[in-house]
Structure 1
Amino acid sequence: MNSMPFSIDRDIKDLIHNSLKKILGKKDENIEIEARHGIIMDKVTGSRIDINAQHPFIFSTKNS
């Protein structure tokens, strides 16, 4: 079990949330954000799946 008083996952989620909150404050604009993440985790074993590619995460304020 992790004995550190902080969580990297929580810190990353807070960073993303706070960043998106500022960006999405611009209500008159359609915004699309694409980020690349190069790691896929196997939820069963907790190990990284070795795929030599970066996988997109796309967030959009558009309704379509």
Structure 2
Amino acid sequence: MSKEAAKRGGPVALRYFYRSQGVIIGGVITGGAIAGTVAHDKWSKRRAAAEAAPENTTDAATAVRPPAPGF
């Protein structure tokens, strides 16, 4: 560990190096958590909208139309 501290510029520099890496790792984890939350919210809203949609829909091709006038 002393060799690594010497490479970094002393024990204080070594401590700051590992603190900054912790900040970077924490930022990545936090960013991933936020992205996951946003994705889950969008998915759950889309799912709720799909479940709330009426199941009995009629297509224009299968709908029964009245006869045209004059026939």
TM-score (norm 2): 0.32
TM-score (norm 1): 0.34
Q: Greater strand share, 1 or 2?
A: 1
* Larger relative contact order (CA 8 Å, sep ≥ 6): 1
The structure having more radius of gyration, on CA atoms, is 2
